[in-house]
A and B are shown apart, each in its own frame.
Chain A
Amino acid sequence: MRTVYLQGDSLLHRLNPLSKFLVNLALFIFVLFTNDPWAPLAFIALTVLVLVLLGRVPLLRLVKLMTPLVLIATVFLLMYPLAVRQSLVDHTPLLWQWGPLRVYAGSLDHALATALRILALLALSLPFSLTTDSADFIRALVQQGRLPYRVGYSTLAAFGFIPMLQNEVSVIGAAHRVRGVNGTAGWRGAYERLRRYAVPLLTGAIRQAERTALAMDGRAFGALPQRTYFQRMRFTAVDWLFVFGMLAVSALLVFALYHFGLLGELSLLKIL
């Protein structure tokens, strides 16, 4: 299975996955509320600093990882001025007109803020996703997050199915092509294809799930209410320090933005 996980032994790697997840969640929710470009920009900068200083992610690697995210944001930046409701911005100067398409200065501001907000939301997930092994995350959820272990370990087993399913999809596609199945274009074609793929895929997946379940039961999975853990996940003082440190730095950042009048209005529903 391909994930973005980067193997390493940095401070960020050694933290409990839950502490990274908590910080990620808190900042994510805050950025959702922003409306001006400055706050998202500040949090993107903070994220990059955390990744480089605490995560020891090589700069070149970071640039490679960020490029597709920046591209997504750029698409928003280009499309948004055309999509924004005219009544919101028609009091601002008209910059450009081509037939019925009008671009106002106000819609550019909206576009920039939205694009940066999207970039920030995507970037904020990186410290967690780049430095957390998926198995460790589930271990932490079970050991510290009170997730029932039967649920957690079933999820982990399901992760193991992903490469098999990817492989199945490509083999079924090839098998159908060899039979001379020519895809009809458009929605009908897509529906047809979905229907044709679904039965063999589901049959295979259910069979695999049944077999895996038997193999797990055969090794006493779920036989006892408790289980022990070879790899004990810990939520240490360093984790507390990271969580409160990050929250404190973020609060300072927000205060500074507010102080210089760069914070803007905070609201969840932007269009109102």
Chain B
Amino acid sequence: MIDVSALTVKYTGRKRPVLRELSLQVPKGQTLLILGPSGSGKSSLALTLNGLIPHSIGEVLGGAVRVAGADTQHTPVAQLAQRVGILFQDPDAQFATLTVEDEIVFGLENLCLDPAQMDARVEAALAQVGMAHARRRPVFALSGGEKQRIALAALLAMQPEVLVFDEPTAHLDSVGTQQVFALLAQLKARGEHTLILIEHKLDELMHLVDRVVVLDMDGAVFADGPPRTLFDQHAVELQEMGVWMPQVCLLAQQLRTAGLPLKAFPVTIGEAVKALGPALAAAPPAPAPVPSPVNPGGAAVYSVRDLSFSYGDMPALHNVSLDIQQGDFLAIVGPNGAGKSTLARHLIGLLTPPPGTVLLNEQDVHDLDARRLAQQVAYVFQNPEHQFVTERVDDEVAFGLRAAGMGEEQVAAQTARLLETFGLARYAPANPFTLSHGEKRRLSVAAMLAIGQETLILDEPTFGQDERNAAALMALLRALNAEGKTVVMITHDMRLVAEAADKVAVILGGRLEFFGPPAELFAQGDLLARAHLNLPPLARLAALLATQHPQMAGWATLQDYQPLSEAVRV
């Protein structure tokens, strides 16, 4: 179906090619997962398949791409669009029109299809993504997940043979992610399409994948094969490269290193249950898992009491009460629009709480102005670019110090120290906007923490980061937390909740539905389902195994599985 041979692609103005002598054959009907560190050319490869490279951007320096026999460099885009459709990651940046129906006919009109045939195609495409009821709705009123479903329907209406999914859930909450993955499973089951996936939420997907291709930083194929063989043989290298891997593969790798014999290397949770079962029976783990250290509970940094809020007549928060203690690592989770950000905005005074409802170190936030608050609490926005206010990296850090009234000499010393800590020293004179995604994120945290605030609030800090950057950021946050700083993090990633947080707050429909340790939340299946929260993969595995081995109940991280390795050693 797809034949890429010795393909080299370069973007105008860049020195290095983004893809180098890449060769890849994909037979009809296969489901292929493409992995690679950020910058390895995964998206560029996708763009070559429907001819956007070289017809719209970039240039092909060598090699060729054939889709169903047609050379994409010499085939008109109109023909390629009927063979390959790409679903992009940003749900807000792929709509050409303002309503659902217009959007779906848009591609058909471009192909000069007879209008008499369009109605049936619109209906079929909408039915396939379960959005038939939304035909007349304006696009901007849809949720992120619904937007992706409509974008997919618009592609399906053009009846392509190949569908490419370029991180379609990267901007979605867990509700939207579940919707998109459900559609993927449906498409796979129908078997009409060749599916090419670029994703990093792997545990939910692996059962669909026939084959994995890993790209390296040079834009060449590093590894290619069925998931089991590939993850089995390359687990260590992939981790070093900063490539996302299924959690069960990381676990299997850890256990194998400890000496546990595994008959077949597991890739999905179901396989892990089968692979671990016999091993567990032979060497049962120690009865009590090491309890993760719980914050002994110092003074309350924040006290929230009966906080309610509405935007106009839209209620957003309803009688929320909670205490955040000195040294807590609190995760706030819940679907988009449930009130997470609204709560966080009250903590930092971007929305003024009513008197007496939010106390920060026993001062009423109602009475504190934004500057006084900013000296005690640092707030990191989702998009680091939004927070940059100067034109140099070092000025960015110095800005807060100067605002706090520090002398120039001290400012220089403190700035240098922070840039060093955050690995940004060599970029001091650069413009913040020229940094890479991961560096921007680090700079925004450094700039916010400059004056040594004791509390840090972050809105989805790992959003859009690759495995390596996300892990580095989380290590940094945990180090700050270990120093005694209080960290509050809004997130959709339940794996982060399991690994980093010692408390978790679930906000659903403006109400605080849960507040306590993650392990307790993971045991409440009902609430998780209502809030559309997925158990982290290793917690799901532990829950399945716990029916035979109750001592595993509540395990959720690689760390929690340590007793297994120890049992093997004994």
Contact = CB atoms under 8 A, between A and B. Distances in A.
Interface of A: 1, 134-135, 153, 156-157, 159-160, 163-164, 168, 171-172, 174-182, 196, 199-200, 203-204, 207-208, 211-224, 226-232
Contacts of A217: 52, 55-56, 77
Contacts of B111: 220, 223-224, 227
Contact of B88 (A156, A180, A203, A211): A211
Interface stretch (B113-121, B227-235, B558-566): B113-121
B472 interface: no
B112 A215 contact: no
Given A203-B433, A226-B112, A219 B106 contact: yes
B353 to A, nearest CB: 15
Interface stretch (B29-37, B95-103, B248-256, B522-530): B95-103
A218 B386 contact: no
A49 B52 CA distance: 53
A196 to B, nearest CB: 5
A231 B153 CA distance: 19
7 contacts: A160-B96, A164-B92, A174-B381, A178-B381, A208-B92, A211-B88, A212-B93
Contacts of B56: 213-214, 217
B98 A160 contact: yes
Nearest to B122: A230
Contact of A159 (B98, B105, B151, B399): B98
A156 B98 contact: yes
Contacts of B106: 153, 216, 219, 221
Interface stretch (B78-86, B213-221, B316-324, B328-336): B78-86
A212 B388 CA distance: 25
Contacts of A226: 112
B403 interface: yes
B362 to A, nearest CB: 22
Contacts of B52: 214, 217-218
A196 B389 contact: yes
B389 A215 contact: no
Interface of B: 47, 50, 52, 55-57, 76-78, 81-82, 85-86, 88, 90, 92-99, 101-102, 105-115, 118-119, 139-140, 151, 154-155, 158, 345, 348, 350, 370-371, 374-375, 379, 381, 383, 385-389, 399-400, 403-404, 433, 447-448
Q: Is the interface of A mostly helix, strand, loop or mixed?
A: helix
Contacts, number: 165
Contacts of A224: 78, 110-112
A60 B508 CA distance: 38
Contacts of B109: 227-230
Contacts of A134: 98
A200 B350 contact: no
Contact of B370 (A153, A177, A213): A177
B90 A211 contact: yes
A23 B383 CA distance: 47
A153 B96 CA distance: 7
B400 A176 contact: no
A2 to B, nearest CB: 10
B447 A219 contact: no
B389 A176 contact: yes
A180 B433 CA distance: 20
A1 B139 CA distance: 10
A204 B371 CA distance: 27
Contact of A214 (B47, B95, B385, B386): B47
A216 B348 contact: no
Contact of B95 (A160, A199, A218, A220): A160
B228 to A, nearest CB: 33
A160 to B, nearest CB: 5
Contact of A227 (B57, B112, B387): B112
B77 A135 contact: no
Given A214-B47, A214-B57, A179 B110 contact: no
A176 B388 CA distance: 8
Given A215-B94, A230-B102, 16 more contacts: A1-B140, A159-B98, A164-B92, A174-B350, A178-B379, A179-B387, A180-B375, A180-B400, A200-B388, A203-B433, A211-B88, A215-B96, A224-B111, A227-B110, A229-B115, A230-B115
B115 A218 contact: no
Pairs A-B, 5 closest by C-beta atoms: A215-B94, A219-B107, A223-B78, A211-B93, A220-B81
Given A214-B56, A220-B81, A135 B387 contact: no
Nearest to A225: B112
A218 B387 contact: no
Nearest to B396: A179
A177 B351 CA distance: 12
B374 A176 contact: no
B402 to A, nearest CB: 10
Given A156-B96, A175-B381, A229-B115, A219 B389 contact: no
A179 B389 contact: yes
Given A135-B99, A203-B433, A230-B118, A160 B140 contact: yes
Contacts of B50: 218
Contacts of B96: 153, 156-157, 160, 212, 215-216, 219, 221
B94 A211 contact: yes
A171 B113 contact: no
Contacts of A204: 383, 385
B93 A215 contact: yes
A13 B263 CA distance: 70
Nearest to B84: A218
Contacts of B77: 217, 220, 223
Q: Tell which of B88, B379, B386 has the most Cβ of chain A within 10 Å.
A: B386
Nearest to B155: A219
Given A176-B387, A214-B56, A157 B81 contact: no
Nearest to B111: A220
A182 B81 contact: no
A168 B57 CA distance: 27
Nearest to A134: B98
Contacts of A174: 345, 350, 381
A49 B389 CA distance: 53
B448 to A, nearest CB: 7
